[in-house]
Amino acid sequence: MKLAIGSDHAGYALKEVIKKHFSQHDLNDFGTHSEDSTDYPDYAHPTAEAVESGDCELGILICGSANGVCMTANKHAGIRAALCWTPEIAALARQHNNANIVCIPARFVSEEVALEIAETFLNTDFEGGRHDRRVQKIACS
């Protein structure tokens, strides 16, 4: 699977853990590449663009609360980014909302939980059916 991943400084350490865990995938890392203070939109936009364009199948974004990267990614018409703090939320985001980017709050989950969230997100399929009708109503024209 080809994945896009990005973070700000608050998510950098967790991003590196996630990258190592998912090294079997083709990962496109859109930064940041250190813990030096930076602006989350600089990394959320290119990550979202890679998923929106189809260059990557799914994306992972990480920042302190995950709110900033989630808001930024969702500005892209083809993106359905979900802020997930438990594996159960990640499963529902895929199953019911066909989310294509998971946003993980680095300051509020452990590495173990973050890996479970990402694993669940990447391995859960969209259920379609009644959920497809709802997902079709998300985008603004």
Looking at 21, 25, 96, 131, which residue is catalytic? Answer: 96
Tokens 């602006």, residue? 39
Mark whether 70 is an active-site residue: no
Q: Whole-angstrom Cα distance, residue 98 to residue 136? A: 10
Provide the token pair at 41: 């939109």
CA distance 141 to 129: 22
Q: Is 56 a catalytic residue?
A: no
Q: Which of 63, 70, 84, 103 is catalytic?
A: 63
Q: Give the length of the chain.
A: 141
Q: Which residues are designated catalytic?
A: 63, 96
